[in-house]
A and B are shown apart, each in its own frame.
Chain A
């Protein structure tokens, strides 16, 4: 590790990435001090923090490299190009869509920019249940401050509160509920509303325009289209990874072996445990893949008397934190817009002509996203030829989910909505406050009853001090394999309730710090 030896070459535009089409051999053998698996929130931050300390870093990303100029602002196309399983990744029951980025930059490319620090009451859980004594708000503050500064995280200005968020804010104020503007990692937001399709003009401060080019400036090498298939280990210590380079047409281009004394897994909370399971590593606790949480979210749509055009303006404006603390309900409501490709699916207005009427009037609709602090009850399993996401909403979580739904409906009505569609597979509508309880009471916690989406998978290789009930220690290092670290959302011990990207950035920085210290 010698930072003085390296020349820093700032990269003002684009990213030097080795893609499948750049490979002209059927077998590649590479070496690095550290190989980072995944280029999203956990991988990119670790790559930069390690590279700037003089380590030779190699980043391997399974997905494609899509430069900003190639982004189309077309959500259907983006799902196919930028998302895991072309946007079709779901739980085993098929009633929760689990959306994750699968591209250089990972989910940071396609998220809504919402940035929260981990709530203090969540950190308290981590300390109490997993003996993570150092995870205090005070100890983490410098890490949060660092990533907030690096990613230009700031509070939405009034111009970033679009019409869809203005009406919700007015309703919350009528109810006397606490409503606040989001903090987002965006510079000079152009208010296109296309966050989920990637920010074409590079305003979202995703990993694609921040930590990855910074890592590359410090000499990190980045390969796309490269899916790691196995983590290598000898005598309790990692020695590198095996991978395959696969073109966009699905044809394998090359096999790859990387020799590295340190491996950082940051493929996301679904793929990281799958990789460990394929490798047969890290699972003496039996916890690899278990404790999956995902913030199952509902998008509660409603019709307003005036046109809203939910696709216009900043995608996400305000949030209601009145019920954030578990003692107050343990859920959050986020006001946000959507495009037509999403609005056409979020509810069940009826079949045929009722659906046509709904879509003809879609400019009058907007919605609220619900988030809960869900239990870590799910599991990721590698089934030999495909992964399986086993997750059903826990009975313990159902009351919070229904309370969140009731609050969302109440807020819509207070905001002036004339009818609110429940996010169910059958046609259920509420038009007055008196109808809320009886209509919501008809819902059951059964598969395929609610329409749910997860944007925040987490918790499948959790961090803790006790090797008997956790996969990595407080330094992010795998209890079982020295030199093997995990820096993505897998390590989050209990679900964050709030959008987790800032938590991941901070934890990745924290872990990279400790890797550097150990190396030194």
Chain B
């Protein structure tokens, strides 16, 4: 971290103080929605304090449900969570992972969507202070980003929740695409390929036929 960033980081820590004082039990009692105001206030401050070069990158066409911050978070999360280079798996660049995440976001109930938006902002911005990274998640290098996920997987309940939900969105968005299946020998739909007959409805019980 450069010395010029120190005052900003100090300010970020100050802004985050309400979050750090929020005990696990209170987090759980109020849930994500309950902590929304605090988190949003803190995250909003972080965003101002810690602008990222990725903020200038436009959101891809066709994205309808992800906000810009969420879009960049997931774009970075996909790179970190699905390093397909050097594996036998389908290259992540060939799979519409972000588009699928955007689609799945659009299916969430409104109150869940609102909670998740708050949580995603928290995940991105909390990296400024959590683990003393001094920058947002979207700007962490690969190893720091992996460490960040792993630390949150062992953290308090809200951190575990966000670690899990981000991974689940990314993993599901990748593995739902049929082109990812052949490398792992997953057969996918089989009934039509196997030429299976449709059995139709079961006949009426004998009591009706008498």
Contacts of B157 in A (CB 8 A): 93, 446-449
Q: Is the CB of B31 within 8 A of A93?
A: yes
Name A312's closest neighbour in chain B (CB-CB): B187
Name A213's closest neighbour in chain B (CB-CB): B201
- Tell which of B111, B160, B184, B207 touches A360, judged by Cβ atoms closer than 8 Å: B184
Q: Which of A85, A446, A447 has the most CB of B within 10 A?
A: A447
Judge whether A210 is part of the interface by a CB distance below 8 angstroms: yes
What is the minimal beta-carbon distance from B78 to any residue of chain A, in angstroms? 11
Contacts of B207 in A (CB 8 A): 52
Q: Is the CB of A339 within 8 A of B197?
A: no
Q: Is the CB of B109 within 8 A of A425?
A: no
What is the minimal beta-carbon distance from B72 to any residue of chain A, in angstroms? 19
Known: A95-B161, A356-B89, A446-B157. A202 touches B198 (CB 8 A): yes
CA–CA, A307 to B185, complex, Å?
10
- Chain A count of residues within 8 A CB distance of the other chain: 74
Contacts of A200 in B (CB 8 A): 189, 191, 196, 198
Name B156's closest neighbour in chain A (CB-CB): A448
What is the minimal beta-carbon distance from A337 to any residue of chain B, in angstroms? 11
Q: Is the CB of A152 within 8 A of B202?
A: yes
Q: Is the CB of A341 within 8 A of B107?
A: no
Q: Which segment of B51-59, B121-129, B170-178 sits at the interface?
A: B170-178
Judge whether B150 is part of the interface by a CB distance below 8 angstroms: yes
Q: A342-386 CB contact bits vs B (8 Å, 1 = yes)? A: 001100101111011101101100000000000000000000011
Q: Is the CB of B161 within 8 A of A8?
A: no
Name B161's closest neighbour in chain A (CB-CB): A448
Q: B185-208 CB contact bits vs A (8 Å, 1 = yes)? A: 111111100101111111111011
Contacts of B183 in A (CB 8 A): 360
Judge whether A102 is part of the interface by a CB distance below 8 angstroms: no
Contacts of A203 in B (CB 8 A): 199
Q: Which of B140-183 contact A (CB under 8 A)?
A: 142, 146, 149-150, 153-154, 157-158, 160-161, 163-165, 167-168, 171-172, 174-176, 180-181, 183
B contact face: mostly helix, strand, loop, or mixed: helix
Contacts of A446 in B (CB 8 A): 157
What is the minimal beta-carbon distance from B53 to any residue of chain A, in angstroms? 22
Contacts of A31 in B (CB 8 A): none
CA–CA, A340 to B179, complex, Å?
12
CA–CA, A13 to B203, complex, Å?
10
What is the minimal beta-carbon distance from A67 to any residue of chain B, in angstroms? 10
CA–CA, A95 to B171, complex, Å?
17
What is the minimal beta-carbon distance from B102 to any residue of chain A, in angstroms? 14
Name A392's closest neighbour in chain B (CB-CB): B28
What is the minimal beta-carbon distance from A389 to any residue of chain B, in angstroms? 12
Contacts of B160 in A (CB 8 A): 425-426, 448-449
Task: Please give me the 6 A-B residue pairs with the lowest Cβ-Cβ distance, nearest first.
Answer: A73-B189, A76-B176, A448-B160, A86-B107, A448-B157, A340-B186
